[in-house]
Structure 1
C-alpha cells in the first residue's frame, strides 16, 4: 500500500525527512557514489532502529515485555509506518546503486570490445592471418585396441539359429 507524503511527514523527524527526500528522482540522480553509499548506511541504521522499536512495542502489547514508559504500548502503527517508509527509501537507493553498477559494466564492456577491435585491425594490417590454427598433418588412423575376431559372422549366426531351434524342440 502506498504511503502518502503527509503520513511520511507525520512518521519521520526532520533529519529522516531530508534523507528520504534524497532518495527520490531528481535528488537521487545528483548524489555521488560516495554519498549514495553513505545514505544507504544511514537509512539502514534508522530502519533497523525503527524495526526494533516496532518489535518491542508489539511485545509490550502482548504482555511479553515490560513497558518502557509508564504504560505499555497500545499501538505500533506510527513506528511501523516509519519502518515502511525507510524500507522503501533503502529499496530505491539499492536499485539506483544496481543501476549505476550495470551502467559501469556496460561501459567497461564497450571499452573492451573497442580495444579488441583495434587490436584485430592492427594485426591484419601487418599481414598476419586472422586465424593461426592449422591442421598440420590432418587426422590420423587410430589402431583399434580390440582383438580381431577370427570366427566368421556366418558361423556365429548358424550356431545361434541352431540353439534357437533346439530350445523350441525342448519347449514343445
Structure 2
C-alpha cells in the first residue's frame, strides 16, 4: 500500500523526513553519485535502527521482552509505519543507484564497441595479422577408422562360443 507524504511526515523526525524527501523522484535524480551513496548509508543506518526498535516493541507487546520504559508498549503502529517509510525510501534509493549503474555499463559497452571497431578498421586485411586461424571455416573431418569387414552377427556368435567353452573348462 502506498504511503502518502503526509503520513511520512507524521511518522518521521525532522532530519529523517529531510532524508526521505531527498529519495523522492525529482530530488533523487539531482543528487550526485557521492551524495547518493552517502544518503543510502545514512538511511540504511536509520532503517536498521527503526527495525530494531520495531522488533523490540513487538517483543514487549507479546510479553517476551523487558520493557524499555516504565510500562510495556501497548501498540507498535508508529514504529511499524516508520520502518515501512524508511524501507520504501531505501528501495527508491537502491533503484536509482541501480539505474545509474546500468546507464554507466551501457555507456562503457558502447565506448568499448567503438574502440573495437576502430581497431578493426585500422588493421590490415588478410590472414597476415592473425595466423592462428585456419581460414577455411568448419569442415567435416573424415573418419580415419577402417570399416570392419566381419559381420556383427559373426562376432556375437564367436563371443558366445568363447563363453560356453570357458564355462565348460571352469566346470571341470
**TM-score bin, normalised by smaller chain:** 0.7 to 0.9
Q: 1:75 to 1:150 in 2, by over 3 A?
A: closer
**In the alignment, what sits opposite 1:4?**
4
Shift of 1:140: 6.6
- Residues of 2 paired with 1:19 and 1:58: CA distance? 26
Matches of 1:79 and 1:105, distance apart in 2: 39
Aligned to 2:126: 129
Query: Per-residue displacement from partner, 1:102-135 (whole Å, max 9, x unpaired)?
Result: 0000000100111111112112xx4x22795424
Per the TM alignment, residue 100 of structure 1 is displaced from its structure 2 partner at its CA by 0.4
Residue 16 of structure 1, CA deviation: 0.3
| Matching of residue 73 in structure 1 with residue 70 in structure 2 | no
Partner in structure 2 of residue 108 of structure 1: 108
Task: Quote the Cα distance in structure 2 between the aligned partners of 1:38 and 1:46.
Answer: 13
User: C-alpha root-mean-square deviation of aligned residues, in Å?
Assistant: 2.6
Query: SS at 1:10's partner residue?
Result: helix
Scaled by the length of structure 2, the TM-score of the pair is 0.77
Aligned length, in residue pairs? 150
TM-score by length of 1: 0.77
What residue number does 1:144 align with? Answer: 145
Which residue matches 2:59? 59
- Give the gaps of 5 or more residues in structure 1: 160-172
Q: Structure 2: where are the runs of 5+ without partners?
A: 158-172
**Cα deviations by residue, 1:82-119 (Å, 9 ceiling, x for unpaired):** 00000000000000010001000000010011111111
Cα distance change, pair 150–75 in 1 and its aligned pair in 2 (3 A): closer
